[in-house]
Each structure stands twice: as structure tokens, then as C-alpha cells.
Amino acid sequence: MKTNQAWKKQDIDLRPGLKINGKWHHKSYIIKRKLGAGAVGTVYLCEANGKLAALKISDKGTSMTVEVNVLKSLQKVQGSHLGPYLLDVDDWVSPYGNTYSFYVMEYLKGEEMTRYIQNNGSAWVGVFMLQLLEDLERFHQSGWVFGDLKLDNLIVVPSPTRVRFVDVGGTTQIGRAIKEYTEFYDRGYWGMGSRRAEPSYDLFAFVMVFVNVFYPKRFERGGQSDRILFKKIDDVKALIPYRQILKNALMGKYLSSVEMKREITNVLYSTQKRRTRKKGVNNVNNDVHAPFLMEAGGVTIIAIGYYLFSLLI
């Protein structure tokens, strides 16, 4: 006979076509497919009333409550795009009598950042840096640190093109200890700082996100972590304009994302001024030179334009 633990494992592996009925709100969701799994729970694509949504389910009720509170808190931030919109919170009683907590959120359909940059050019690195720093600024001002910031928790959505957070698991109130993290993005793993929840922790992970974009297989730490990471950054052409800023963030020299965002913006403007002087205003505006805008050297025009536009939506 199977143990209760075995039954629970079978419960949580939801099959396509299964109907999840909320215990309290009595809403129904049809499971379509599995989207991903983490330390706290599993996320599924589901359908409700003909619309797609993402459903996260877990037997860790306390952790789920924390995530729900984070989503509710972020939704109060006016004009923010921090995380998916929360649609429903409820419990589900499985056919075996086990009770699970679940919440339903907006389904963000998009593309992985690494693949998007590969397909559309490294010019988008600057765009996504500014967008993420803008969101992290709002995140930190709300009293939270993302904690488990990584490529897996980010997605690029269209119309307009923008990076969005897809999972707030690991989010921690500022001042507390980070308990959920991924080693490659964790400054504690690299021996370059503590796991205290503070903006500089997220900024370290922010740098590692873009390092991971260009090193998709990742790499191991060594005896001198700072030298290893600095060398990896120096060897990526697309990161050269930002390399000193990225190194500063790795060393914990920024107390807020505002400082880092300001320096990256200054680099973008300075780069564009140099190009304008070199080519001349007429050449910049000439359609003959339009293709250069999609090159790494022309990232500034695109980045600044999309960054300013993103503030209006």
C-alpha cells in the first residue's frame, strides 16, 4: 500500500485535462500543461472561462501565503509591471483527500531573454538592463527584495517589448535573510557578500542574469571569484560598454538600483554623443545608415527610446 507521502506526490503531478475546483470560491480551472516547478510549488498553464492563466499549487501553505501577499503588495504599486496580476487564491482538495493551496495569476506569453537577444541582436541588452533596474527600483521601494532573481523567472513579452517577472517565489522583505536562491546568481555562493535581503543582493543577481545570457551553460566558481567574474564580463563584447558598472555591482558598491540605473543611462547617452560627433547628425538621420541601429554600437538609441516609452505604459 502506498504511503501518504506517495499519494501526495501523485496528487501534485497534475495531468492535462484535470479540473481543479476551488474549495472556497468554487471557481474551476482545467489543467493544460506544466510550465515549471520550484522549491515552493509547481506552475501549470490552465484555462478558465475560455481564457488562459497560470496556476501555482503547493502543499507549503505558509510559503504560498507569503507569495500571495507579495503579489498583492506589488499590485498596489501604481503604474508597475512587477510580477503577474493575481486573479484568484483558494484551496483544492484532491481525490485522495489532501488539501493544497493554489493561486491563479496572469499568464505571460513571451520568449526567454537569451533567445530573444540571440534572435534580435545584442542591442536589446541595454533595453532590458534599464527596464529591469526600473522594476527593481519599484520593488525595493515597496519593501521587498526579489531574492531569487534569475533568467528562469524572467520573460520578454511583446507589444511593447518588455521584460516581466513571472514568479515571485523567493521574494523577501528587506532586512531578513534570503532563504530561496539559485547558487549561480547568489553572491553568498561566490563568497562576495551575505544573504541579507537588501537591494545590493538583487543587483549582484542582476549582473549574473546578463552574464548567464552569454554563458548559457554557466561555469563553476574558483578561488578568486571576483577575477573569474570580471574576466567573463570582459570577454563579452556586448557587455563592454557596461563592464565597469557591472563590476561595481558585483562588489556591492551600489546601495540602490537608482544609482546603477543612472550610471547605465549616462553610458548610453555618452556613447550616442560620441557616435553623433563621429558620423555627424546627417548620417545618423540618413536611412542609408538605419541598419546600424540594430548593432551593439547603436544600442543607445533603441535603449533610451524603449526605456522612456516603457515609463508611459
b or e along 3-41 (b: 16 or more beta carbons within 10 Å of the residue's beta carbon)? Answer: eeeebbeebbebeeeeebebeeeeeebebbeebeebebb
Strand pairing of 144-145 and 51-58?
unpaired
Residues 121-136: b if buried by 16+ CB within 10 A, e if exposed: bbbbbbbbbbbbbbbb
Contact between 74 and 22 (Cβ < 8 Å): no
Residues 141 and 32 in one domain: no
Q: What is the CATH number of the domain that holds 233?
A: 1.10.510.10
User: Strand pairing partners for 47?
Assistant: 30, 52
Q: What is the CATH number of the domain that holds 10?
A: 3.30.200.20
* Residues spanned by the domain of 51: 4-106
**Which candidate, 90, 87, 95, 86, places its Cα nearest to that of 15?**
95
What total number of domains does the chain contain?
A: 2
Q: What is the structure's pLDDT at 7?
A: 41
Coil, strand or helix: which one is 30? strand
DSSP helix, strand, coil percent of the chain (3-state; round to 5): 45, 20, 35
165 has which bridge partners?
A: 154
Determine how many CB atoms are found less than 10 A away from the CB of residue 69: 14
Q: Are residues 102 and 39 in the same domain?
A: yes
Enter the pTM of the model.
0.83
Task: Yes or no: say if 284 and 276 are a contact pair by the CB < 8 Å rule.
Answer: yes
* pLDDT tens, the chain, 313 aa long: 333 444 455 457 899 999 999 999 999 999 999 998 877 889 999 999 999 999 999 999 999 998 999 888 888 765 566 778 899 999 999 999 999 999 999 999 999 999 999 999 998 999 999 999 999 999 899 899 999 999 999 999 998 899 999 888 888 999 999 998 999 999 999 999 999 999 999 999 999 999 999 999 999 998 899 999 999 999 999 999 999 999 999 999 999 999 999 999 998 888 777 767 766 654 544 443 333 333 334 444 555 555 555 544 4
Residue 279: predicted pLDDT: 64
- Do 204 and 94 share a structural domain? no
Q: Which residue has the cell 528587506?
A: 174
Q: Are residues 83 and 155 in the same domain?
A: no
Residues 130 and 86 in one domain: no
Do 119 and 241 sit in the same domain of this protein?
yes
Euclidean distance between CA atoms 117 and 120, whole angstroms = 5
Residues 214 and 231 in one domain: yes
- Asked if 176 and 194 sit in the same domain, the reply is yes
Centre a 10 Å sphere on the Cβ of residue 272 and count the other Cβ atoms it contains: 18
Q: Considering 106, 127, 146, which residue would you say is the last residue of a domain?
A: 106
Active site residues: 148
Query: What is the residue-wise DSSP string for 267-312?
Result: HHHHHHHHHHHHH-HHHHH-GGGGGGGGSGGGHHHHHHHHHHHHTT
Task: Tell me the three state secondary structure of residue 191.
Answer: coil
pLDDT at 79: 56
Last residue of a domain, one of 106, 133, 152: 106
Q: Do both 215 and 159 map to the same domain?
A: yes
Q: What pLDDT sits at residue 306?
A: 53
Q: Are residues 98 and 228 in the same domain?
A: no
Q: Which residue has the cell 476551488?
A: 22
Residues 6+ apart with CB under 8 A from 136: 146, 199, 202, 203, 206, 257
Q: What are phi and psi of 104, to 5 degrees?
A: -115, 135
A 10 A CB-CB count for 118 gives 15
148 lies in the same domain as 255: yes
Indicate whether 181 and 102 sit together in one domain. no
- Among 106, 135, 154, which residue terminates a domain? 106
Phi-psi region of 27 (alpha: psi -120 to 50; beta: other; left: phi over 0): beta
Distances (CA, A) of 313 to 78, 106, 125: 11, 17, 20
